[in-house]
Amino acid sequence: MPIEDIHEFITELEKNGELKRVKTEVDSNLEIAEILRREMYSNGSAILFENVKGYDIPVLGNAFGSMKRLEIGLEMTDFTEIGQRIADMTKMDIPSGFLNKIKKLPELSKMASSFPKAETRGPVTEITSSDASFDDLPILKSWPNDAGRFITLGLVATKHPETGVRNLGVYRMQVIDKTHAIMHWQKHKRGAHHGDISKDRGEKIPVAIIIGGEPATIFSSIAPVPEGLDKYLFAGITRKQGIKTVKCKTIDLDVPANAEIVLEGYVDPEDTRDEGPFGDHTGYYTPAEPFPTFTLTGIMRRKDPIYVTTVVGKPILEDAYIGKVIERSFLPLIRMLQPEVVDYSMPAAGWFQGLAIISIKKRYPGQAKKVMMGLWGMGQLSLTKMFVVVD
């Protein structure tokens, strides 16, 4: 059975010697982030901080900070399986004729099992309130010159205002007071696209911030899936079993039933404020820029929630391992669109978007240029600064 939530994930990490528990009191202001970075730089473990100063909620960090931990969470060792499942689904023909359809039933049944399943309640609905505050959560400040506390591993749920296709993305959020935070969704991100459509319609967009959930759902939120693919379905494809969802209480959105915490609210595209500076994955601070504001309207949470976070900085940290799994996962899809591609690598030292090395089976002059131009037009690869193509 797939891992259902963060609590099960912690149990599996501990069984495999991939988790440390810290019972000594620690501070969410700089201290936890520094401990997590030092642990990652020494190829260390995931850490569960059980005694966070001023809070009764534990903090989990570095949960995906090694290939072994990702193998445990996603329950696979060959991550190209994920992309291959999507490729197989896109190639699947729905046959005509009763007998032919009967023959296809096993494949169709396997696909159907990946779809999300709506529930009336779940662990995340154990406590609900419209009197919510960011101050109740042990949100970290990671670097001395950061503009404040940032939610760094919140799964930002939106849906397309016209088609209803659901999206999950991981966009950092700078907390500015008890009920407001700045949403750092860049223009090329799908959440920002949904926000722009709402702005054109003169509307605010409902948004839910999900903390925790199935490891596959967290991974799916980060993964740059093909346009139009529902992220909740992608999570089901990844884990070979659909995730369970519940309705939010104050907004019209579905969220994973097995999450730890769900922060409900809306983004007002017209209300922008300066976000940053923020110590980023490049090893430098990103300067302040205007982004839209999120307003908190309600909270759902477990009775015993765990706050899941990540820290970024000079490589190699947790994001490098997640990036490597994304790289492996999408190789089959790249091959489907560019058949001459044999393999590719996006080294952590190049910050992933800085450099991609592509191996091709060359058949004619100029083929490398053709491959590069094709890849520069594909999703997140469009942000890559340099391609190196080798035979």
Per-residue pLDDT tens over the stretch 335-390: 988 999 999 999 988 877 889 999 999 999 999 999 999 998 887 788 889 999 99
Note whether 288 and 363 are same-domain residues: no
CA angle in degrees (0–180, nearest 5) for 177-141-10: 110
The mean pLDDT value for 262-281 works out to: 96
151, 194: one domain: yes
pLDDT of residue 273 exceeding 60, the answer is: yes
Can 280 be counted among the known catalytic residues? yes
pLDDT value for 1: 76
- Domain C-terminal end among 50, 74, 98: 74
What proportion of the chain, given as a percentage, has pLDDT over 90?
79
pLDDT at 97: 52
Is residue 44, in this structure, part of any structural domain at all?
yes
Examine the domain organization and report whether 27 and 120 are in the same domain: no
Predicted local confidence at residue 103, as pLDDT: 43
Whether residue 202 has pLDDT greater than 50: yes
Greater confidence (94 vs 36) lies with: 36
Residue 281 lies in a domain: yes
State whether 275 and 149 are in the same domain.
yes
User: Does residue 269 share a domain with residue 120?
Assistant: yes
User: Tell me, what DSSP letter sits at residue 135?
Assistant: G
Which of the residues 280, 304, 343, 391 is marked catalytic? Answer: 280
Q: Which residues of 22-58 are buried (b: 16+ CB within 10 A; e: fewer)?
A: beeebbbeebbbebbbebbeeebbbbbbbebeebebb
Please give the Cα distance from 361 to 343 (Å, whole number).
Answer: 10
Phi, psi of 34 (to 5 degrees): -65, -40
pLDDT (tens digit per residue) in 77-115: 999 988 888 777 766 554 555 445 444 445 545 667 889
- In this prediction, residue 66 has a pLDDT band, given cuts at 50, 70 and 90, of very high
Q: Do residues 57 and 154 both lie within one domain?
A: no
Residue 326 lies in a domain: no
Residues 357 and 281 reside in one and the same domain: no
Give the list of residues 6+ apart from residue 110 with CB closer than 8 angstroms, or none: none
CA distance 161 to 208: 15
User: What's the confidence (pLDDT) of residue 89?
Assistant: 72
Provide mean pLDDT across the span 14-18: 98
Do both 27 and 169 map to the same domain? no
Per the structure, how many domains does the chain have?
3
Q: Are residues 164 and 303 both part of a single domain?
A: yes
Q: What is the average pLDDT across 219-224?
A: 92
Confirm whether 314 is domain-assigned: no
State which of 74, 96, 128 marks the end of a domain: 74
Q: What is the CATH number of the domain that holds 295?
A: 2.30.110.10
- The whole-chain average pLDDT of the chain stands at 92
pLDDT mean over 122-149: 97
- Between CA 117 and CA 99 the distance in angstroms is 29
Share of the chain above pLDDT 70, in %: 94
The reported pLDDT for the residue numbered 96 is 53
Task: Indicate which CATH number applies to the domain containing 352.
Answer: 3.40.1670.10
- Which pLDDT belongs to residue 383? 83
Mutual orientation of helices 80-91 and 231-239 as an angle, nearest 10°?
120
Mean pLDDT, residues 23-31: 98
Q: Are 11 and 288 in contact (CB under 8 A)?
A: no
- pLDDT at residue 240 tops 70: yes
Any domain includes 284: yes
Residue 325 falls inside a structural domain? no
Q: Residues 289-325: pLDDT tens digits?
A: 999 999 999 999 999 999 999 999 988 999 999 999 9
Residue 214 sits in the same domain as residue 279: yes
Whether 321 is in a domain gets the answer: no
Average pLDDT value for residue range 119-130 = 96
Are 120 and 230 in the same domain?
A: yes
| Statement to judge: residues 229 and 123 lie in one domain | yes
Contact 86, 59 (CB under 8 A): no
Domain final residue, candidates 258, 291, 308: 308
The one-letter amino acid at 22: V
8 Å CB contact between 252 and 124: no
Backbone dihedral angles phi then psi of residue 206, each to the nearest 5 degrees: -65, 135
Domain that includes residue 68, residue range = 6-74
Asked whether residue 45 is assigned to any structural domain, the reply reads yes
